[in-house]
Amino acid sequence: MLGNSNFVQQEVHDDGALLLFMRKGVFQARIYLGERKYIFKSLKTRDYDTALRLAKKMLFEIEYRKEENLPLHKLSFSTVINEYVALRQQEYDRSQLDIINTSTHRKTSIYMLCQIKRVSKFWHEYCGKVAVERIDNAILKDYVQWRKDYYHNKPKAEWPHGAKPNPTDHTLQWEITLAKTILKYADERRYRGGINLPTWFYAAKKKIVRPPFSDEQLERVLAKMSAMIEEERHVTRKFTRQLLLDYTLILADSGMRLGEANNLKVDDVKKFVDENGNENYRFEVKGKTGKRDVIIRRKANDAIIRTLSRNKAVDEIKNKLVRKNNRKVQNIDNWFFRMYDGNKVITLIDQFKNVLKLIDLEKNRYGEGFTIYSLRHTYAVSMLRKGEPVYNIAKNMGTSVKLIEEYYGRAATSLVLATSLGD
């Protein structure tokens, strides 16, 4: 053994792959990668035997990572999370430009960006220091219990404002999905080498179905919205209230998903005449199951006409804003549902929730909470009670017959059966 005080440097391998040397009394390792490239690392020890063991371990690990096509420097999951969040931030920043080529740029809304950043904090804390290639099914699965215990393991004084200590199944599913999305990002950049991506997904133990509005309840909602429009004098707020009313009517009479409605453009709205000579509209939506036509119930035609009429006025507002050059327009696409400045609708959930609160209709008599998602359920139940074949309803809603029966059928079955038995 060489005395540490006399140690200068030593080639551990004859081919120069590993060199051991000291700097300021601490052993260092230099690994040759080929093509005049090296990795230097402090071994953080003054003991020769310990340094030799750590250096050899480091060499063997580098050789393994080269064979597996892994990055030679370990990337922690936190490093990849930060890189992914920075990418989504850039997408959002680009979306703030006056003119966007929407066919080449994916857009990230401010709401999605905030959600990604919020959930990323949990993953940083849970397994941020783990190498990204080591994130597997077991780590994803164990996250669920860790997350359920997260706030309960902290004093209440340390909880952030608005913290919800018991995450819902939907929340857990979203957080697992985000982690898998980041892992897919890492895989595309070869940060995980040839290691297979984890496939585990959190399955909800309890299926949550939002209650439908009864005809009387929906009338109360619409009446309150109409009254709020009449009493509003501020131009922008009045516009938003008018939008909310027509948005509600169209969703309740079409069964579209929120995302499908928000992504509609004016060119996706098609007028047609049915076999009975009635004028109607169909929407060409792009949803979870691909492209499909959604037929709107004729009683929502006035809402469509009002929306199209408002859009013409919004176009003028948008053009004036662009000409002034003192305010940026986020999107200049021809959105069907659009805000006062021409921007795409991101969400009207809070506005809808406020209406329900004002009329004391936040829950039904069973304590189940109404939300804007209840409008899709309302459509399904209404069509089932009307006697429309389940297949037709499923096709219009972009879902399966099984899901229609499982999620919505229970709310309509008793009335349909009672009507049949009473005939």
Digit-coded pLDDT (tens) for 277-320: 999 999 999 876 778 999 999 999 999 999 999 988 777 766 66
Q: How confident is the model over 156-199, as pLDDT tens digits? A: 999 988 888 999 888 999 999 999 999 999 888 888 877 889 99
Residues 6+ apart with CB under 8 A from 12: 18, 19, 20, 52, 55, 56, 59
* 73 or 159, greater pLDDT: 159
Q: Per-residue confidence at 111, pLDDT binned at 50, 70, 90?
A: confident
Distance between CA atoms of 292 and 295, rounded to whole angstroms?
10
Q: What integer is the mean pLDDT of 329-344?
A: 76
Whole-number pLDDT of residue 356? 97
What b/e sequence results for 122-136 when a residue is b if at least 16 CB atoms lie within 10 Å of its CB, and e otherwise? bbeebbbeebbbebb
pLDDT reported for residue 86: 93
List Cβ neighbours of 54 (8 Å cut-off, separation of 6 or more). Answer: 29, 43, 45
The pLDDT of 319-345, averaged and rounded, is 70
Angle CA 299–339–255, to nearest 5: 35
Residue 217's pLDDT is: 96
* Interatomic CA distance for residues 119 and 374, integer angstroms: 26
Tokens describing residue 379: 């459509």
CB 69 within 8 A of CB 120: no
φ, ψ of residue 72 to 5 degrees: the values are -65, -30
Beta strands in 274-330 (DSSP E): 279-287, 290-295
- Contact yes or no for 241/225 (Cβ under 8 A): yes
Round to whole Å and give the CA distance between 106 and 198: 25
pLDDT of residue 83: 92
Residue 392 banded pLDDT, cuts 50, 70, 90: very high
Long-range contacts of the stretch 398-405 (C-beta < 8 A, 24+): 398/257, 398/260, 398/285, 398/287, 398/288, 398/289, 398/292, 398/294, 399/289, 404/380
Bigger pLDDT: 4 or 296?
A: 296
Helices 169-188, 77-95: crossing angle, 10 deg rounding:
90
pLDDT value for 1? 44
11 forms bridges with which residues in the sheet?
Answer: 19
Q: List CB contacts of 255: < 8 A, sequence separation 6 or more.
A: 294, 376, 379, 380, 383, 393, 396, 397
pLDDT of residue 238: 93
pLDDT band for 409, please (50, 70, 90 cuts): low
Judged against a pLDDT cut of 80, whether residue 34 lies above it is answered with no
In three-state secondary structure terms, 27 is: strand
- For residue range 49-66, list pLDDT tens digits in order: 888 888 888 777 777 666
For 140-156, the pLDDT digits (tens) are: 999 999 999 999 999 99
Report strand pairing: 18-23 vs 9-11: antiparallel
122 against 408, higher pLDDT: 122
pLDDT for the residue numbered 99: 44
With a CB cutoff of 8 Å and minimum separation 6, the contacts of 248 are: 221, 222, 225, 352, 372, 375
How does DSSP classify residue 52? H
Distance CA 264, CA 13 (A): 65
Share of the chain above pLDDT 70, in %: 81
Q: For 211-272, give the DSSP string.
A: PPPPHHHHHHHHHHHHHHHHH--SHHHHHHHHHHHHHHHHHHTT---HHHHHT-BGGGEEEE
pTM: 0.57
Token pair of 354, please? 């406020």
pLDDT, mean of residues 367-390 = 91
Amino acid identity, residue 267?
Answer: D
Task: Select the more confidently predicted residue: 286 or 127.
Answer: 127
pLDDT digits (tens, 9 = 90+) for 230-253: 999 998 899 999 999 999 999 999
Confidence of residue 105 (pLDDT cuts 50, 70, 90): very low
Spell out the residues 6+ positions from residue 164 whose beta carbon is closer than 8 angstroms to its own: 151, 171
- Stated as kind and residue range, the H or E segment containing 112 is helix 110-127
- pLDDT of 95 over the 50 cut: yes
Q: Average pLDDT, whole number, for the chain?
A: 83
